[in-house]
Amino acid sequence: MGAAKKYLNNQFMARKFFLENEEASEFYLCSLQSNRSSVPLLLIRIVIFLGCLGIVLASGILTGQAIDAKYWPIYLTHWGILLNTVCAFLACCVSIAAYAQGGIDATFGLPWYVKAYWFSFNAAVPIAFFITAFYYAFLSSMGEEFAINQVLDLFIHGINSVLMMCLLLTAQHPSLILHFYQPISVTLVYLVFGIIYYFAGGTNPNGDPWIYPNIDWRDPGPATGMVFASAAMIIIIHLLVVLISLARDWFSKRYIRDSRTMSFNS
């Protein structure tokens, strides 16, 4: 109980609201390695990036063939897989910089590209999990209009979360409670887009004046309720990500990493 109280006291310090961390190495070392090489995580991140990029390209191509490519940007799912790709790309950039420089110096704070990656990670992972949960809980049983291709459907609503889970489990950097505003800020941007799209006369591919049937602004009461419920769900998922990162770090420190014996092979 004392350890939990100490952890929470530390988590709710004002500085934890910002993208600052004393150990830059945590952003390019893998939780599954016992040495200090940046190569293992670099290779993992390249695979994840290629997977995310493949999903985005397949989604764009198949959407354009099945309906009209102009509708691709209206869905949160597609925002999510694009965010996954950006996050994985920035993760690769961090690892490449660490490999090229022999490490990353955070004496005067984390470099901007590390902060950009961390922000994208904090947003992409919870949003990916949210998209998977929301789709399979509320949308998948509503008909085929959300499933252009069954295989693609699995990749953009399921494998997206698998890739982000891999990114989460192989990282060493922390996930902080006070960073909940970062996934919320991205979804807030999407919410504003959705409202503007509705009042501008936008429709879905079937001509309906909504993007998702659960958020139909012709009936603002239920739509607003769904927005607040979704925001609460994203915050809960963010807290779950924090717990997963804590379990990951505990397992890694107990069974894989040992500060007394870690080598410094590059």
pLDDT tens across the length of the chain (266 residues): 678 888 888 999 999 999 999 999 999 999 999 999 999 999 999 999 999 999 999 999 999 888 889 999 999 999 999 999 999 999 999 999 999 999 999 999 999 999 999 999 999 999 999 999 999 888 776 654 566 788 999 999 999 999 999 999 999 999 999 999 999 999 999 999 999 999 999 999 999 999 999 899 999 999 999 999 999 999 999 999 999 999 999 999 999 976 544 443 33
| Cα 119 to chain centroid, rounded | 9
Confidence at residue 150, expressed as pLDDT on a 0 to 100 scale? 86
Among 22, 38, 9, CA closest to 174: 22
pLDDT of residue 149: 84
**Dist CA 102 CA 96 (whole Å):** 10
DSSP H/E element including 7: helix 2-11
- Find out whether 115 and 19 touch, Cβ atoms under 8 Å: yes
pTM: 0.94
Sequence-distant (6+) residues with CB within 8 A of 135 are 77, 146, 157
Contacts 24+ apart (CB under 8 A), 81-85: 81/52, 81/55, 81/56, 81/156, 81/160, 82/56, 83/120, 83/123, 83/124, 83/127, 83/128, 83/186, 84/52, 84/55, 84/124, 84/128, 84/160, 84/163, 84/164, 85/49, 85/52, 85/53, 85/55, 85/56
How far is Cα of residue 76 from the mean position of the Cα atoms in its chain?
A: 13
> Domain extents for the chain?
23-255
List the end-to-end C-alpha distance of the chain, in Å, as a whole number: 40
